[in-house]
Amino acid sequence: MENEESLPKVRKNWLAITSILFLIIPTAYAFFGISQDEFYKIGLAIGSSILFTLLYYFAYVKAGTRFLLLAMLLRGFRLISSSFALFLFFKDLMPYIDFDLSNPIVITYLLAALEVICSIIWIIASVQLRLANKAIQFKKESSDGYREALAAIDSSNNLDILNNHLKDLSQKWPKYSGVIEKYSQAKKKELSLDI
């Protein structure tokens, strides 16, 4: 089904937006932003590199979900604070500042706007990666059960049978009920068209 083929694409998209959000934007902040403090710039570059490495290892290499969920929550808080700062900038300061790209204040707020946009994209990509990682974990944990679950879904010839299979599978593997439901969506569409 489409979910199996889309796993590598979801993972690559997540890695690309994560690289932008946790490596490129912080580096740009460090070199072109308002702060003149060298210690802050070095700390920002090192801290974001460490965070990227942890995310890469736990969410991408190990296909984990817990650290990714924590990072999503923290990024959500950062998104709120960045959005609030941008709102204040555009409300109060923007009329008094010339839009000159050599001005560090303008560059900092442009980077903040880029960070807000990338954060939204990253959170969406992270939700997709979390589902993909759950599917990978499900597949690893029970390869026989995984094949059994897919066969049960694929062999369903009406919605009632499919719903019964989904109920049984969700009770058998409650941790993966979201993955099972997502996999079965295409089959549900197919069966609803047959009615």
User: Quick one: average pLDDT of 56-63?
Assistant: 94
User: Quick one: average pLDDT of 113-121?
Assistant: 94
pLDDT of res. 1: 36
Is 195 strand, coil or helix?
A: coil
* Residue 173 φ then ψ, to 5°: -130, 70
pLDDT of res. 143: 66
pTM of full prediction above 0.95: no
Give how far Cα 53 sits from Cα of 18, 30, 46, 63, 160, Å: 10, 18, 10, 14, 46
Higher pLDDT, 44 or 116: 116
pLDDT of res. 2: 43
Cβ pair 163, 94 in contact under 8 A:
no
The string of pLDDT tens digits covering residues 13-27 is 999 999 999 999 998
Residue ranges of the domains in the chain? Answer: 2-131, 142-194
pLDDT of res. 130: 93
The string of pLDDT tens digits covering residues 34-55 is 766 788 888 888 999 999 999 9
The string of pLDDT tens digits covering residues 147-192 is 777 777 888 888 888 888 888 887 877 777 777 777 788 778 887 7
pLDDT of res. 179: 75
pLDDT of res. 186: 78
pLDDT of res. 125: 96
Whether 78 shows a pLDDT value over 50: the answer reads yes
